[in-house]
Structure 1
Amino acid sequence: MKLIYPIVITQTADKAVPYLVEIPDFNGKTQGTSIFNAIQMARDYINLKVTDLEDNHKPIPDSNYYLPSINKPDIATLIDVDTTKYSKFE
């Protein structure tokens, strides 16, 4: 299943893991060591969450193409996930 969700990336003062990622559609958060890593971590989080929801026969949020309001210099972007492809690598 291919899905798209918005994420918000905020730079923090943490030198080791300076990017906080909020995933509004799942009320989730993760972190990253770079913008690229933050996006990868968000994809991983969403894929794991969708897999868990599927396994427990719970509803999965529909794809959401709307970017949330942010404060500068935060970054709001859409990311895609392919849960079918992801489940092959578990």
Structure 2
Amino acid sequence: MTVVYPAIFTQTGDKKDTYLVSIPDLDGATEGHGLADAIGMAKDYVGNALYDKSVLPPARAIKDIDVQSSEFAQAGPSFVSLIDVDLEAFRRIEKSRNVRRNITLPEWLDDMATAAKINVSAVAQSALKDRLGVSR
């Protein structure tokens, strides 16, 4: 399911070409360096804000968004654009990201792995995949 929400982009005029992004229907904000990065950050914000929601907040029509009402209105010139996110694709991507887990090893084993330059995370992933019968 693809969702579409209006976002207000405000260019600050700094050396990093920063755009502040307000997403009023989700009571959220983000920023990016350059317009492409700002759009990507806005998509990430929308995806994360709606990731586990079964009922989605309604999105206003683009014509109903007033750039002067943005929390960043005084930071520079602003415009409104629509942000679309395929929530099903976003959820699949998010689930495929790595997560950090701590494991406990005897110190002697950790010392040997370090000396042999073995990536303990890669070995743990391989062992878990073998144990669970996962091939991806």
TM-score class normalised by the smaller sequence: 0.7 to 0.9
Say how many residue pairs are matched: 86
Aligned-pair RMSD on alpha carbons? 2.0
CA offset at residue 14 of structure 1?
A: 4.3
The whole-number CA distance in structure 1 between the counterparts of 2:3 and 2:59 is 5
Give the CA deviation at 1:60.
1.5
Structure with the higher strand share, 1 or 2: 1
Q: How does 1:47-86 map to 2 (within 5 A)?
A: 47-52=47-52, 54=53, 59-67=55-63, 68-71=65-68, 73-86=77-90
Deviations 1:11-70 (A, max 9, x none): 125434611000001110000001111111000000001014x2xx5x321343324122
When Rg is computed on C-alpha atoms for both structures, the one with the higher figure is 2
Unmatched 5+ residue regions in structure 2? 69-75, 95-136
- Structure 1 runs (4+) deviating above 3 angstroms are 13-17
| Preserved contact between residue 6 and residue 78 of structure 1 (Cα < 8 Å) | yes
Structure 1: gaps of 5 or more residues: none
